Amino acid sequence: MNTEKNIKTLIVKKPLKLDCGKTINNFPVAFETYGSLNENKDNAILVFHALTGDQFVTGLNPITKKDGWWSFAVGPDKAIDINKYFVICSNVIGGCMGSYGPSHKDPETQKTFGTDFPVITINDMVNAQYNLLEHFGIKKLFAITGGSMGGMQVLQFITNFPDKAKTVIPIATTSSHSAQNIAFNELGRQAITADSNWKDGNYETNNINPGKGLAVARMAAHITYLSKKGLQEKFGRKLQEREDLKFGFDADFQIESYLRYQGSVFVDRFDANSYLYITRAMDYFDLVKQFNGNLSDAFKNTKAKFFIISFTSDWLYPTQENKDIVIALNSIGADVGFVEIVSDKGHDSFLLDVPDFLNALKNFLDKSYTELKNEK
Q: Which residues bind another protein (CB under 8 A)?
A: 305, 307, 326-327, 330-333, 335-342, 356, 359-360, 363-364, 367-368, 370-371
Decide if 174 contacts 152 (C-beta within 8 A): yes
Q: Phi and psi dihedrals of 35, rounded to 5?
A: 75, -170
176 in catalytic set: no
* Min CB(158)–another protein separation in Å: 17
75 backbone dihedrals φ, ψ, rounded to 5°: 160, 180
For residues 160 and 359, which CB has a smaller minimum distance to another protein in the complex? 359
The CB-of-370 to another protein minimum distance in angstroms stands at: 7
Tell me the angle at which helices 272-284 and 179-194 cross, rounded to the nearest 10 degrees: 160
**How far is it, in rounded angstroms, from Cα 30 to Cα 78?**
24
Least Å distance, CB 266 to another protein, is: 34
Minimal distance, residue 232 CB to another protein, in Å: 24
- Gap between the Cα atoms of 370 and 376, Å rounded: 10
d(CA 122, CA 173): 13
| Residue among 19 and 335 whose Cβ is closer to another protein | 335
* 40 or 363: CB nearest another protein: 363
Nearest-CA neighbor of 225 among 128, 343, 119, 108? Answer: 343
How distant, in Å, are the alpha carbons of 15, 117, 200 from that of 105?
Answer: 18, 9, 16
274 in catalytic set = no
Q: How many CB atoms lie within 10 A of CB 342?
A: 11
Smallest separation, CB 72 to another protein (Å): 18
Respond yes or no: is residue 71 known to be catalytic. no
Q: How far is the CB of 209 from another protein (least distance, A)?
A: 45
Q: Which is nearer to another protein, 11 or 342 (CB)?
A: 342
To the nearest whole angstrom, how small is the minimum distance from the Cβ of residue 291 to another protein? Answer: 17
Question: What sections of 195-253 are H helices per DSSP?
Answer: 211-224, 228-234
CA 360 to chain CA centroid, Å, is 20
H or E element in which residue 5 lies? none
Alpha helices in the chain (DSSP H): 122-129, 131-136, 149-160, 179-194, 211-224, 228-234, 254-269, 272-284, 287-290, 319-330, 355-375
Nearer to another protein, 30 or 325 (CB): 325
Active-site entry in 283, 314, 344, 348: 314
* Beta carbon nearer to another protein, 155 or 336: 336
Q: Which is nearer to another protein, 177 or 305 (CB)?
A: 305
Of 71, 90, 148, 313, the catalytic one is 148
Short-list 302, 352, 330, CA closest to 148 = 352
Query: Given 71, 347, 348, 349, which residue is catalytic?
Result: 347
Which residues belong to the active site?
A: 148, 314, 347
